[in-house]
Amino acid sequence: MRIKSVFLSFSIFLFCALSFSFAQNSPFFIEGKYAQSAPVSGVNERQKADLLNNTLTEIEIALDSQNYDKVINLSQSLIKENFTDYRLYSYQAMAYEQLDDCNNAEYFATKAITLAPSAVDPYVTRANCYFKNKKIPLATRDIEKALFLNPKSERAQKAKKDIYADPVKSTKDTTDKTDNFPKWFTKYLIIIGLIFIVLLYLRYRNPEYVDGQGRRLKEYNIKEQYKFIRLIGEGGMGKVYEAYDNALKRKVAIKRIRPELLKNGTFREQFLSEARTVAMLRHPSIVEIYTVIETTTSLYLVFEYVDGQTLETRLDIDNYIPFKEIKEIFRSVCAGLSYAHSLDIVHCDLKPGNIMIADFGPAKVMDFGVAQKIAKDKKDKETFSVAGTPAYMSPEQQKGFTSKQTDIFSLGVCLYEALIGVVPWGVKGYNLNTQKIVKPSAINPRFPKELDDLLEKALAKDPNERIQTVEEFWKALESCELKNN
């Protein structure tokens, strides 16, 4: 027995040593390098465009001269200043590929593809990295996509030759090395590894529970990963906390859904489905959902944390926002909504409390908690349960119908409140029978007639008579200018 015990201990020690050795060759990548850069705030759009073009030229020269560190530093300097040109990510991915840092190269190539799905170079870069990491199916998929986009791309053709020529050779080399390794020792290590994994599972497994809908849920203590700092908001859906992610070392916002809402199994399933859909949104003007955590008793949404204040708070404090600043805020809001609508996602609860004015960077639309995915085969309209904030809901939304024009109506109410300080229905003189709003120019003569027309169309009772797209809304607002005294 003592000999067996010693033998078992030696086996476990040998397996751990080998595991540690293998781990040394598996870098854990969280984020790429970020270079210091001079701020570009305060410059106009033409200067930003010139800065972008000049920097891209420098980057291309640096690539040609194989100065890859300079490529990375120049790209990061603009990315940190909220430039979103896909070439900044694509060139950075190329540089990391040449430095044999495939983790970073894959990450930035994927970022570039997200921004420009029809660009060829990011697919080729990512395919090369997949090939180096022996992910042949993924490499093949990306290179075929690149050649589909541009069959004449020399870089893609060269990568295709490498990918289709080397897998057989790589497999042969691996087979030869395996043949030289004792098979009995390989089996022995596998058995020891399986025993070790089973022991770890039995030691650290979480108990499972079955809820009322027959689903198995694991017990999870969210405070093990997140440190809750303070309560920052509360609404009809739940409470929002500022928290700190101990694993990724960053601030987050966590929304805990009210437990009484989760008792309805249908609501829970619908909410989870919609949350997963909204989690796909990636845009500078939308607060990002990092993850959804479902436990036996609670449901949490983990969001990007943004330093700043909501439009609602700003109006409560100042009761007035300069027209120029209003246009800047709604430029970002319209950009975020336009992106969501392009994916057939409707916010359904747009209001000043869900528009975050960031201390640094663009304003952001947040809390897509009741957002809806519109089915394309239902003529861009679908019937859902009523959800939202009544003062900002369109007439059809109050009846349970939701469309992209629903957000246009809410956007108009938000703009009116930003201009006047109250929602249209709270202004003295509003006619409940005709539902005619008091025109902004009647309250402030400096507001132009074009602004009155914009709000009248955005707040039309019939969605077919309303402004149809966010782009049309922003184009009309952008052209409005205050009258001189």
Catalytic residue annotation: 349
| DSSP string across 226-249 | EEEEEEEEE-SSEEEEEEEETTTT
The SS3 call for residue 382 is strand
Listed residue (279, 260, 284, 266) closest to 338, CA to CA: 284
| Widest pairwise Cα distance in the chain | 99
Q: Helices 449-458 and 470-478 meet at what angle, rounded to 10?
A: 170
Give me the phi and psi of 402, to 5 degrees please.
Answer: -130, 135
Under 8 Å between Cβ of 276 and 299: no
Q: Round the CA-based radius of gyration of the chain to a whole number and report it.
A: 28
Tell me the residue type at 95: A
Under 8 Å between Cβ of 365 and 354: yes
Q: 70: which 2 tokens?
A: 């300079």
The SS3 call for residue 299 is strand
How far is Cα 233 from Cα 230, in angstroms, rounded to an integer?
Answer: 9
Under 8 Å between Cβ of 457 and 464: no
Q: How far is CA 46 from CA 43, 437, 456, 484, in A?
A: 8, 38, 33, 26
Listed residue (164, 110, 107, 100) closest to 137, CA to CA: 164
How far is Cα 340 from Cα 414, in angstroms, rounded to an integer?
Answer: 18
For 354, other C-beta atoms within 10 Å of its C-beta total 24
Q: How far is CA 475 from CA 138, 402, 442, in A?
A: 42, 24, 23
How far is Cα 424 from Cα 410, in angstroms, rounded to an integer?
Answer: 11
Q: Is 288 exposed, middle or buried (0-12, 13-18, 19+ CB in 10 A)?
A: middle
Q: Which residue has the tokens 């861009």?
A: 380
- Beta-bridged to residue 240, according to DSSP, are 233, 255
